């Protein structure tokens, strides 16, 4: 199988989407376990403060981006093993 830049972009995007979904579920789960309340997702909610919504969103974003970077790094490393080189757009 020929490894191309397009295949790399599509595959890495799919991995990133999968990782994002898992991270979101994990952060939601941990938030509920820690606070005993569902994760605050709506800033208009009467039950949650704006600060709680912003904090939850910030934590989700930081964790999500960190995982995305780690997944991309791992995927690039594996790609290099399979192809012998990384795609040109990553050099």
- Write down the residue that tokens 């208009």 correspond to: 44
Say how far apart CA 59 and CA 29 lie, in whole Å.
Answer: 13
Domain boundary assignment for the chain:
5-86
32-80: pLDDT as tens digits: 999 898 989 888 888 888 888 898 999 999 998 898 888 888 888 887 8
4-43: pLDDT as tens digits: 778 878 888 888 889 888 999 999 999 899 989 898 988 8
Output 13-16 pairs: Cβ under 8 A, ≥24 positions apart.
15/71, 15/72, 15/75, 16/68, 16/71, 16/72
């Amino acid at each position: 199988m020929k490894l191309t830049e397009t295949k790399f972009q599509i595959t890495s995007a799919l991995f990133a989407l999968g990782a994002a979904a898992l991270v979101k579920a994990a952060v939601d789960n941990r938030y509920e376990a820690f606070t005993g309340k569902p994760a605050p997702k709506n800033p208009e909610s009467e039950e949650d403060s704006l600060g709680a919504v912003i904090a939850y969103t910030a934590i989700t974003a930081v964790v999500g981006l960190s995982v995305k970077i780690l997944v991309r790094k791992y995927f690039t490393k594996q790609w290099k093993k399979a192809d012998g080189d990384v795609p040109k757009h990553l050099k």
